[in-house]
Amino acid sequence: MSVEWNSFFSRRTRNITGSQIRQFFALTEKPEVISFAGGFPDNELFPREEISNSLFHLAREDSTQALQYSPTEGNFELRKVLGEKMSRDGKLCEADSLIITDGSQQGLDLLGRILINSGDPVLVEEPAYIGGMSAFKSYGGTTVGIEMDDEGPVPSSMEQAIRKHTCEDRRPKIFYTVPNFQNPTGITTSLKRRFEILAIASRYNLAIIEDNPYGDLYYDQDVPLSYKALDREDRVIYLGSYSKILIPGIRIGWLAGPAPIIEKVSMAKQTADLCSSSLGQQLAYRLSREGNVERHIGRLRKLYRQKRDAMLSAMDRHFPAGIEYTRPGGGFFIWVTFPSYYPSSKELLDLAIQQNVAFVHGEGFSSNGGGLRSARFSFSQPSSEDIEFGIKLLSEIFWEVESNCTVKVAGRHF
Ligand SMILES: Cc1ncc(COP(=O)(O)O)c(C=O)c1O
C-alpha cells in the first residue's frame, strides 16, 4: 500500500499552491520559443569577468569568511555598504537595521511568517507580484486588491478596503507594494501618491512592505523617494535585492526595518537557513565595494532601455489600436490589456504558444478574479530582434481576432 501523503500535510501547507509562472520555466527553456513570460534578467548581461575575478580572490585570499557560515543577520561590511546604498534612495540606513536575506523572496516569506495570522487580510496592489501574494497566502493571509491607476495604488480604493474589512472585524494591518516599475504592470507610484498612501497608513495604523528590486533600473528618469525615506513613523519595511542588478544565482537580498522587525526576522531566519550564502555575500560585497555593481547597473540601464524601446516600438507599430499597454520608465514589464470583445488572455496565450511565442496571462496577478483580458509581457530576456519578431507574430493573431470580431459584429447587425 502506498502512502497517502496528502493526509500528512499541515493545514498551513494546504494554503501553498503552485504558481502559474512555474509552468513557463520549462517552456522558456525551449530554444524555439520567444518568451516574454519570465521575469528573469538577461543571461547575456551577467558580469561574468568581474564575477570570475572576485571568486578567484575569494577562494584564495578571503577564504575564511567566504567559505564559513556567517552571522544570521549577514556580513557586517555588506550590510554597511547596503545601508549606504539606501542613502542614495533618500534614507541612510544603519547596518544594524538591516538583515541579509536569500533574495527578497525570503524577506517576503519571513515577513509572512512573523506578521500574518491565518485569515488576516493583506492589502496588495491589483494586480500584484505573484510571489509576494503566494508568500502571504502560504501563512493563511488573504490578499485584498487595491485598484491601481497610472500613478499607483488608488487611495480611495485603499480606504474603502480598510473600512470594509474593519467593519467585518478583520482590520488589515499590512500593505504590500512594489512602488518602482511594478511587477506586473511596470507602473511607478508617483511621489504625491506615496505621501497619500503613507498618510492612510498612519491614519489606519498599517505597516507598509516596500519591495524594490527594480528601482535602480530606470531608463528615463530616476524614481521618486522611497516610502522608507518619506516615512516619519518607522512603519515601512524595505526589501532590496541583487537579483536584477547583479545576478539572481547568489540569492542575496536585504530587509531594512524597525528594530523589533529585524529582531523577529532574524529569529525566524535562524530556523529557516541559519544564514544566507557566505560566498554570495562576500561576492556581492566585493563587487559593490569596488564599484562594479554601480558600473554594471549603468550598463544594464542602457541595454534594457534598448529592449524596452524595441518592445514599445513594435507594439506601437503592429498591435491593433484597441489594445492598451503601459509605458514603463524602467524595470522589465509591460502590462497589456485587450479589448472586452477579445477572447481571454489565456486563450490568446494558447494561440501564441502554437506560434512559439509566450507571455503570462493576467488572472494569476489578481486578488479579485480580474486580469482575464490582461497579460504581462517581459522584455528583459529576448534580444531586440526577437522582440520585434515575436510582437509581429502575436500581432498577426490579434489582427485575426479583430477581423473575426468584425465579421461577427457585421453578421449581427446586417
Ligand atoms: C517584485 C518582486 N519581488 C521579489 C522578487 C524576488 O526576487 P529575489 O530574486 O530577490 O528573491 C521578484 C522576482 O522577480 C519580484 O519581481
Torsion of CA 226, 227, 230, 234, to 10 degrees: -130
Mean of the per-residue pLDDT values for the chain? 93
Q: What is the pLDDT of residues 337-396, one digit of tens each?
A: 999 999 999 999 999 999 999 999 999 999 989 999 999 999 999 999 999 999 999 999
Residue 154: which of 116, 192, 180, 182 has the closest Cα? 192
Q: Is the pLDDT of residue 414 over 60?
A: no
Kindly give the distance from the C-alpha atom of residue 411 to the centroid of ligand 1, in angstroms, as a whole number. 48
CA–CA separation, 215 and 180 (whole Å): 5
Are 201 and 105 in the same domain?
A: yes
CATH label of the domain that carries residue 334? 3.90.1150.10
61, with CB counted inside 10 A (0-12, 13-18, 19+), is exposed
- Domains of the chain: total: 2
Co-location of 309 and 385 in the same domain = yes
User: Out of 11-20, 36-45, 55-64, 128-137, which region has the weakest mean confidence (pLDDT)?
Assistant: 11-20
- Residue 282 sits in the same domain as residue 302: no
Domain that holds residue 102: 62-291
Amino acid (1-letter code) at residue 378 = S
Read off the pLDDT of each residue in 192-211 and give the average, rounded to a whole number.
98
- In order, the DSSP letters of 45-56 are GS-HHHHHHHHH
- What is the average per-residue pLDDT within 97-113? 98
212 CA → ligand 1 middle, Å: 8
Residue 89 confidence class, pLDDT cut points 50, 70, 90: confident
Give residues (CB < 6 A) around ligand 1: 39, 103-105, 129, 131-132, 178, 183, 211, 213, 241, 243, 248, 253
Q: Whose CA is nearest to atom 8 of ligand 1?
A: 103
Would you say how long the chain is, in residues? 414
pLDDT of 205 reads: 97
pTM: 0.95
Query: Do 278 and 302 belong to one domain?
Result: no
Provide the CA 251 distance to its chain's centre, in angstroms: 15
Q: Any idea which residue has 507580484 for its cell?
A: 129
Residue 16, pLDDT above cutoff 80:
no
Q: Are residues 378 and 362 in the same domain?
A: yes
- Say how many CA atoms lie within 13 Å of 94 toward its Cβ: 5
Distance in angstroms (rounded) separating the CA atoms of residues 38 and 21: 7
